[in-house]
Amino acid sequence: MLVVKKFGGTSVGNKERIFNVAKRCIEEYQQGNDVVVVLSAMGKSTDELIAKAKDINPNPPKRELDMLVSVGEQISVSLMAMAMAQLGVPAVSLNAFQVAMHTTSDYTNARLRSIDVERIRAELDSRKIVLITGFQGVDKFDNVTTLGRGGSDTTAVALAAVLKADKCEIYTDVDGVYTADPRIVHDAQKLGEITYDEMLELASLGAGVLHNRSVEMAKKYGVQLVVRSSLNTNEGTIVKENAKMEKMLVSGVACDKNIALIAVCGLQDQPGVAFKLFNHLAHHNINVDVILQSVGHDGTKDISFTVSTDNLDEALSVMEQHRQTSLICEKIDVDRNVSKVSVVGAGMVSNAGVAAKMFEALYDAGINIQMISTSEIKISVLIDEQYTEQAMNAIHDMFINAAK
């Protein structure tokens, strides 16, 4: 059996944890399995490197930023190989160059294109544990790239896909996927299984367990994921195409505080205005989420939308560049004190009334809804950030505790 295991930065944050991960991987290896391990940078080391960069240049060239932060995973994999050697098991660390982890040239947010498995196969055939740097790649000109936050998950899933692995285990600091963040909703429950689509909505909604691109890729290539804890041996949550039907209508409640609301007021009301606005942003790889368009006064219209706070400054600067040409408007307002609360569930498709129940829960809790966005399997609302925890508990009570 070939198993890909991915461990995040917390799991390899110090010597003791490195040895814990080493032992865990060695157990799998000693059962006769081929083991490929994907590691993130240790603890907060990526953040520390970025801080070092910004101290030198507040707006560092992205190419150089990727060159810099990619060292974090290289440290993790080489130290892990040493730990395994110390435990008597042969291991080899490989970076993005060494496995030809080819990506696009979109620095800090590159997308995987191809991986050369020859070296990995050869090392596995010689019965080594293969340790691969997560998060990073190289473009066709040999420049170092990174895949963006959570990119190590994507690396692991991509490797599982090209190696046709039997399992792809994503180890994290929680036991699996919960119906809500247990730090916010104390009676949140662990899910045994969940579909790719539900996980995708939860990931993109800020549930934070899995990176959404990794789930997309897992769905595309049919890689069965297991999300489990690196701290205990509890069974985790299996993410796959046809998850067992849970009794619950809703499989999870998620929130995302890392968003800001941009309101563009007084736009000329003519065709193509919205297209141009979002096209400018798309050209800069800025994802726009919940969008609301409303009629303004005197033949104008207002467009409000949310972006990740990480992209806020860039979004505003892009818009400012076009204010004299294709984006003539009265004003652009920003509200950082918003959060998005969502319910997700494959069961929604065939069940009307979920939205009504959600709004009822919020109404009962006295929380005002600013914007609404829905998909086949999720409903999101934008609310004042200070009511996030209260909203999540109210919704969780309504759907999940009530369903028990």
* Binding of residue 57 to a second copy (CB under 8 A): yes
* Binding of residue 105 to a second copy (CB under 8 A): no
Buried b (16+ CB within 10 A) or exposed e, 228-242: bbbeeeeebbbbbee
Specify the amino acid at residue 227: V
* Binding of residue 55 to a second copy (CB under 8 A): yes
Nearer to a second copy, 71 or 369 (CB): 71
Which of 81, 202, 381, 395 is in the footprint of a second copy by CB under 8 A?
A: 81
Which of 10, 44, 50, 75 is in the footprint of a second copy by CB under 8 A?
A: 75
DSSP 95: -
Which of 10, 33, 49, 192 is in the footprint of a second copy by CB under 8 A?
A: 49
CB atoms within 10 A of CB 9: 23
Nearest to 37 by CA among 195, 163, 212: 163
Nearer to a second copy, 98 or 401 (CB): 98
* Binding of residue 68 to a second copy (CB under 8 A): yes
Structure tokens at 383: 């609310």
| Site pattern 130..149 for a second copy (x: CB under 8 A) | --------x---xxx-----
Stretch that binds a second copy, among 95-103, 167-175, 189-197, 394-402 (CB under 8 A): 95-103
Specify the amino acid at residue 372: I
* Binding of residue 168 to a second copy (CB under 8 A): no
| Site pattern 107..126 for a second copy (x: CB under 8 A) | ------------x-------
Cα–Cα distance, 59 to 281 (Å, whole number):
19
DSSP 138-193: E-TTS-EEE--TTHHHHHHHHHHHHTT-SEEEEEESSSS-BSS-TTTSTT--B-SE
Stretch that binds a second copy, among 62-70, 287-295, 356-364, 386-394 (CB under 8 A): 62-70
* Binding of residue 64 to a second copy (CB under 8 A): yes
| Site pattern 313..342 for a second copy (x: CB under 8 A) | ------------------------------
- Total site size for a second copy, rule CB under 8 A: 38
Specify the amino acid at residue 117: V
Beta strands in 215-368 (DSSP E): 225-229, 237-240, 252-268, 288-295, 300-308, 331-344
Q: Degrees (nearest 5) of the Cα angle 60, 306, 111?
A: 50
* Binding of residue 98 to a second copy (CB under 8 A): yes
Instruction: State the nearest-atom distance from the C-beta of 62 to a second copy, in Å.
Output: 10
* Binding of residue 85 to a second copy (CB under 8 A): yes
DSSP 26-93: HHHHHTT-EEEEEE--STTHHHHHHHHHHHH-SS--HHHHHHHHTHHHHHHHHHHHHHHHHTT--EEE
CB atoms within 10 A of CB 402: 12
- Binding positions for a second copy, rule: CB under 8 A: 15, 18-19, 49, 52-53, 55-57, 60-61, 63-65, 67-68, 70-71, 74-75, 77-79, 81-83, 85-86, 92-93, 95, 97-98, 119, 138, 142-144
